[in-house]
Structure 1
């Protein structure tokens, strides 16, 4: 008796996707179809993820610091803007714990706050007692005054331009003011709580 040949399996019809290969088919470079175009707010999360991975020292180091994800390619996928893969929150927390104090920290948390319409504000690690709090309040008031003075000088000269903002690093100054405002709030709460 001759061997039975299995019937040829038919594939479901391809779904039309302008500019992309049909789902389930491989691209010319052999990669599985994972390519997507994310909306800008999701792209910003990809950018923040890439900055976080860079801050820990690259994909290899990220895999070392992560408790769950050990495959370096996964970290590459998390940062690629056209790949539909995102880092889990617990993995982001693992990596952000290693990057405390580095520029942009906490990268992913900051992007998530912005996506939710807010901003990340680091709270002060320790609040001084009432006597020291008064001295720190005076320092903070002076720092607020210095930054405000820089902005007022630019406005008095005819308006604030993009060049002024860059030259005076006003966005970074504003970020610092937000952090200092959180510290100011904590100090005031401390004084209020003590009597």
Structure 2
């Protein structure tokens, strides 16, 4: 049982150990400024929305944050998801049709696999980090309107990094998009 805040080092059973199981990659879960902002928001609005956004709508503070992020990155808009699983599950279906191809690494996270299954795009899968097989998939997908190569940056099950330089070279060669999670 974890007996401390979620950090790189946590206390478990009275011992300090390294935390390799959390999603707190940026160390934000115990950031004092974020904790204070969350307390102020809870004092003003209560705790949470009582449901997900697509049921209850969204609050003005969500739209304010999305606008600030869009402005920061110079994009038209931004959408925030409560979890990465939700984002990966919801990104493909509205963007890709049966005219498109999604080319996915075989060891991608389950959320990517689920998201790809939900959309109507033609699906290809290549063996993990196998650039020859990826190139074969890209050749087969040439007739599709858009081609997107989807890969984890670091594969969650084994910790290996995707060969992004090689993936991007193939994407350029075959006029494909690249999505890295």
Q: Which has the larger radius of gyration?
A: 1
Same fold (TM over 0.5): no
TM-score by length of 1: 0.25
TM-score by length of 2: 0.26
Higher helix share: 1
Larger RCO (alpha carbons 8 Å, 6+ apart): 1
